Each structure stands twice: as structure tokens, then as C-alpha cells.
Amino acid sequence: MSQTLDTVFAALADPTRRAILAMLLEDDMAVTDVAHPFAMSLAAISKHLQVLAEAGLISQEKRGRVKWCKLEPDALREASVWMQGFGQMDSLDLDAFERFLAVEIGLEAEAEIPGG
């Protein structure tokens, strides 16, 4: 889940990938057609699509020699939920926060919250 947030946000950080997602809103598309409007090679777009697929933001299905790309909004929704929930923690449970840190960044148990 933490790694999911890593990969989802990293995928969204690139404008080409955000543009691809916007294109896939309209309809499923073949890799070649996704690549068409962009001023870069097919191989580069293929890599971008892999990044999006690993983040769970799209799925790909091969039919014949054509690989179809489909938007998968669930991962996007997960990240969005994270961001929404973020502003709504009112006061932080420090014990819970230590566990959160431990999960988020693999911190040892000695993690101690300054000022706490």
C-alpha cells in the first residue's frame, strides 16, 4: 500500500503520463494510437505505459497483435482518498504515528516523535 502510493504518485508526476491518462478517459486505445500525438518514440511511450500499468492506473490486454490500454481509476482513487483523509486527521495519535512511520519508511521501533 505504501509502495502503491509511491508508484502512483511517481507515475502521476510526469506530464506525458498524465496526458496519456486523459486520453484513455475517452476510450481504450492501442499502444500505437496512444503514441501518435506525442513527439517521442514508440518505445518511450511503451515504457510510460508500463509505469502506468505497474502503478495500477491502467491495464493492458493483448488481442491479436494489438495491445489495448484501459484506464483503471481505482489506484487513482486510492491516492485521492489518501490525500483527502490527510487533511482530516485532527490530532495525531503518537503511537499510531510511530506504527505509521514504521510501515511507511521501514523505520525501527525506536522511532520517537520529537516534542511528543
Interface positions with its own copies (CB under 8 A): 2, 5-6, 9-10, 12-16, 18-19, 21-23, 25-27, 29, 32-34, 36-39, 73, 76-77, 79-80, 83-84, 86-87, 89, 91-92, 97, 100-101, 104-105, 107-108, 111-116
The answer to whether 35 and 17 are in contact (CB under 8 A) is no
Tell me the per-residue interface mask from 58 to 77 with DNA, x by CB under 7 A, - otherwise.
--x---xxxxx---------
- DSSP tag of 36: T
CA angle, 43 then 48 then 10, to 5°: 150
The answer to whether 68 and 28 are in contact (CB under 8 A) is yes
Q: Which H/E stretch holds residue 110?
A: none
Q: Is 16 in the site for DNA (CB under 7 A)?
A: yes
Interaction partner, residue 100 (DNA, its own copies, none; CB < 5-8 Å by kind)? its own copies
Interaction partner, residue 48 (its own copies, DNA, none; CB < 5-8 Å by kind)? DNA
Amino acid at 17: R
**CA torsion, ordered 48, 53, 69, 32, to nearest 10 deg:** 20
Q: Order of strands, edge to edge, in the sheet holding 58-63?
A: 29-30, 66-71, 58-63
**Which residue in 9, 37, 47, 59 binds DNA (CB under 7 A)?**
47
Binding site for DNA (CB under 7 A): 10, 13-14, 16, 30-33, 39-44, 46-51, 60, 64-68
